[in-house]
Structure formats: structure tokens, C-alpha cells
Amino acid sequence: MNHFAQKYAEGFMSELIARNPGETEFHQAVKEVLESVAPYIAENPHLIDLKVLERIAEPERIVIFRVPWTDDCGCVHINRGFRVQCNSALGPYKGGIRFHASVNLSIMKFLAFEQTFKNSLTTLPMGGAKGGSDFNPRGKSDAEVMRFCQSFMTELYRHIGQDTDVPAGDIGVGGQEIGYLFGQYKRLRNEFTGTLTGKGQAWGGSLLRPEATGYGLCYFAEQMLGTRGKSFEGQTVLVSGSGNVAQYAAQKAMRLGAKVVTMSDSDGFIYDPDGLDEEKWAFIFELKNIRRGRIKEYATKYPSATYLPGERPWRIPCDIALPCATQNEIEKQDAENLVKGGCYCVAEGANMPSTPEAIDIIQGAGMLYSPGKASNAGGVATSGLEMTQNSIRQHWTAEEVDAQLRRIMSDIHTACVKYGTLEDGRVDYVKGANLAAFIKVAGAMLDQGIV
Ligand code: NDP
């Protein structure tokens, strides 16, 4: 970065931190983009005059609301609901809803900011948003989850719509929660429209939407591996998480010939040196999606596996790591362990799972590394395909959706290579993804004036 770009970036960051004190995840997400795009902005000073990045980093709208609900014993609880509508330059706001105890404004803003760039990369007409609540679904009965979703939607419905803002799932919000949210939206609005994605297949959901983030991640990783003449075949893979993204990333990696040896949750991870197979995968699917159980039960069921409580998978030797749980789950020491264990490719399924220090180590070691906004964009892309199917009142086959998903992931890879190829021929996927996404959003914002 030259001196002028460096000065611009420093000034930008100090102002952002002063305006948004304490929002560390948001600062982290913006800084990463800033480092990629500052040289481009410095070469195009009208972007500085028109404060384009400053506007992207200031959400168009933030809604924070009370979500009261009653548990099965009749006790009243209050949670906080959020919807951060970050940027609508490219289309209606689009982004998931997260229910997790850790949810706060900083996390919502980082996710909405990331989503704006991710949605731009998909090539589909979608702006960026994110929402959620600090509601913790763990240990709640189905009836409690339903009442919470209904209360949450009783406020959210005013701010969303098929041409305004189209939410989907994220951590803690799967098909069941989308069903309850959709049911309440339909009741309040008296309309059956595609205002949420990730719906059930009988009522407007796209085939392959549940699989899309994990499958898309593997399609993207395949392209990365291809740049080094490799593939998933015969590779040892670490997966973290055991939710939606992790499950389908593990399934696709396995079907592409890899040996998936770990899965995790927030209590610990399982290590199975024999690798998953279809039967073991089906056990995990049933455990997590039907019984809402914990990953440690895998080690009870399969003696080949060990459960390691309170730990993350990254010290296990591997070729490829697919972090699919949550933000900042690969820290400096974890990255060092990955290098030590022979890992040569980290493709992110979760949003911002690697800390900046970890990314420095991973990239410094010459590993292939893709940021979540590029490699996990298959989920929102397929949500975009669900929106199209809802609008034209058609239902595409799984093969049609899969072909589109593969094409989109391949196009994102091409964009990363175009904007991120370094002088020595290596691809900086962070730079490529950020720059490709920024140029598109900035162009649309310039066309639309100061709004
Ligand atoms: P799920 O709720 O289905 O699964 C989340 C998984 O991550 C669970 O195994 C959970 O364990 C674990 N986890 C959550 N928080 C933590 C934590 N603080 N520490 C360790 N483990 C944790 O969510 P998804 O699979 O949908 O989402 C996973 C990641 O992928 C998130 O970063 C999300 O933003 C991102 N993503 C999701 C998309 C989607 O389509 N669903 C699209 C693009 C990105 P536990 O059960 O113990 O909480």
C-alpha cells in the first residue's frame, strides 16, 4: 500500500472506531475490507470525495426491538431483536437471522457488512442485511421456540417484504424456525410471498437450499485446489461445527473422496481417524437436526472416535481445513497448529472464522486461503435462486439448482482470481473477493447518487 492509501486507511479506521466504540467484530470486518480496497480507492479519488466506503460502513437502517415471550412454565422473558439493513445498492436487503446468546449490535453489523460484499459476489441482485436475537435456543422446547419466533416476527414484519428485505436462516435458525417465522409473517400480512428463504419444499422452498452453503463451499474449495493441481480425492479434512453448514460441507467433501476426521460444537470436538462415511453422517444428521443432541454422542456410538472436550479441531494433522462454526474460531495458535499439521488449504464456511493474526500466519505460510464471503456465498446465492423461483411461481429440479450453484461458485472463484492474482502468480482470495465485490457495490452507489 502506498503512503497516500496508508494515510487514507488510517484516517478511515480511526474515525470508524470513534463513531462505533466497542464494536470489535465490526471493526475487524471493516478493516479487512479496507486493507484490500484502500489502494484502489486511493487511485480513484472521487470515491474518497463521495465517501463511498464511509457510506457502506454506515448501515442504511438499524432496527432494535424488544422480544417478549413466555416459557412453558408461564415465566416472561425479554430478548433483544435486531435487523441491520446495511446496503441496498444492488437489490432488496438479503441476509440471515441468527439466534445465539452472543448476538449483539457489533456482531449484527459485522455480519450485515460482510453480507453486502458476499451478495455482490454472487452476481445476483441482492443488497446486504443481517438480523437476529440474543435468544438462546439451546434447551428450549419446540413450543417455546415457536412462541419466540412469533414474537420476533410481530415486530420484524414491518421492516421486511419480498421487494424490501428477505431474511433467511443462520446460527440457531434452521428450517423449523423459518417455518414459524414465515407462518407468523403470513398471518400478519395476509399474503403468501417469498419474503423468507430456506422455506420448506412444500411451501416455496428451493431444493438444495439446506445443502447449498456446505456444497458451495466444497465447489469453491475444489476450484482453489485445482490451481495447485489437487482435488479432495484422498485428502484429510478437518470440519468444525456440526450444524447446517458443517453437515453438508462434510457430506460433499466425503463424496468428493476426502476423509473427514473431525466435527465439533461449542463444547468440544470429535476425532475419528477412520473418517466419516454415509452411515456415520446420517447419525450426525439425526443427532443434530432431530434430537438436538451434542456431538460428543458420536464418540459413544463409534469407538473409532475420541471426544475432546473444550477443544477445537485445528491441532489434528490434515490437508484441508473447513471452519464451519462461528467467528474467530481459528486464532493465532490454531493457525500455527494447522501449519505444523501439514494443512495447505483453509476454505471458510463460517463468517469470519479466522482472526487477522491467524490469517497472517495462514497466508504467510503460502497456504490456499479463502474468506467466508467468497467460499460460503453458495447459501445466499441459492436463497437468491429461491427468490427467483417464488417470483416466477416455478420449482426447479435439484439438478438445475446444483448446476446454477456450481456456476455461481465458479464465477466467484474467477472474480477472486481476476482481482486477487499477485505478481508471483499466487491468488490472494481476500483481496480478490473484497475488490471485486467493492467495485460492483461502489459503481451502483455512484449511479444512484448520494442516498
Ligand atoms: P448452525 O446453528 O446450524 O450450526 C452452528 C454450529 O457451530 C453448531 O455446531 C454450533 O455448536 C457451533 N457453534 C456456534 N457458536 C459456537 C461457538 N461460539 N463456539 C464453537 N462452536 C460454535 O449454524 P450454521 O451452520 O447455519 O452456521 C455456521 C456458520 O456459517 C456461521 O458463521 C454462519 O454465519 C455461517 N453461514 C451460514 C449460512 C447458512 O446458510 N446457514 C450461510 C453462510 C454462512 P452448538 O450447537 O454448541 O451451538
Per-residue pLDDT in tens (0 to 9) along the chain, 451 residues: 899 999 999 999 999 999 999 999 999 999 999 999 999 999 999 999 999 999 999 999 999 999 999 999 999 999 999 999 999 999 999 999 999 999 999 999 999 999 999 999 999 999 999 999 999 999 999 999 999 999 999 999 999 999 999 999 999 999 999 999 999 999 999 999 999 999 999 999 999 999 999 999 999 999 999 999 999 999 999 999 999 999 999 999 999 999 999 999 999 999 999 999 999 999 999 999 998 899 999 999 999 999 999 999 999 999 999 999 999 999 999 999 999 999 999 999 999 999 999 999 999 999 999 999 999 999 999 999 999 999 999 999 999 999 999 999 999 999 999 999 999 999 999 999 999 999 999 999 999 999 9
Q: Is 172 in the pocket of ligand 1 (CB under 6 A)?
A: yes
To the question of pTM greater than 0.85 for the whole model, the response is: yes
CA of 3 to the centre of ligand 1 (A): 39
CA-closest residue to ligand 1 atom 47: 266
Residue 161 is given by DSSP the state B
Of 250, 205, 211, residue with least CA distance to 232: 250
Residue 157 is given by DSSP the state G
| Element at 67 (helix H, strand E) | strand 61-70
| Residues present in the chain in total | 451
pLDDT given at position 112: 98
C-alpha cell at 165: 428485505
pLDDT given at position 137: 94
Sign of CA dihedral 242, 246, 250, 252: positive
Distance CA 209, CA 402 (A): 10
CA-closest residue to ligand 1 atom 17: 266
CA of 20 to the centre of ligand 1 (A): 26
Q: Is 250 in the pocket of ligand 1 (CB under 6 A)?
A: no
Q: Is 324 in the pocket of ligand 1 (CB under 6 A)?
A: yes
CA of 107 to the centre of ligand 1 (A): 13
Taking CA atoms, 187 is separated from 128, 174, 184, 192, 253, in Å, by 26, 20, 5, 9, 40
Q: Which amino acid is at 334?
A: D
User: How large is the angle between the packed helices 332-340 and 356-364, nearest 10 degrees?
Assistant: 20
Ligand 1 pocket mutation pick from 116, 166, 245, 328 by most atoms within 8 angstroms of CB = 245
Sequence-ordered list of residues with C-beta below 8 angstroms from that of 1, at least 6 positions apart, any chain: 9, 35, 38, 39
CA of 133 to the centre of ligand 1 (A): 14
Instruction: To the nearest 10°, report the CA torsion of 152, 157, 158, 160.
Output: 120
Alpha helices in 20-141 (DSSP H): 24-43, 46-49, 52-56, 105-121
pLDDT given at position 1: 81
Distance CA 366, CA 379 (A): 28
Catalytic hit among 130, 140, 252, 431: 130
Q: Is 211 in the pocket of ligand 1 (CB under 6 A)?
A: no
CA-closest residue to ligand 1 atom 28: 325
Task: Give yes or no for a contact between 169 and 206, defined as CB atoms under 8 angstroms apart.
Answer: no
Active site residue 7: no
Q: Is 213 in the pocket of ligand 1 (CB under 6 A)?
A: yes
CA-closest residue to ligand 1 atom 11: 265
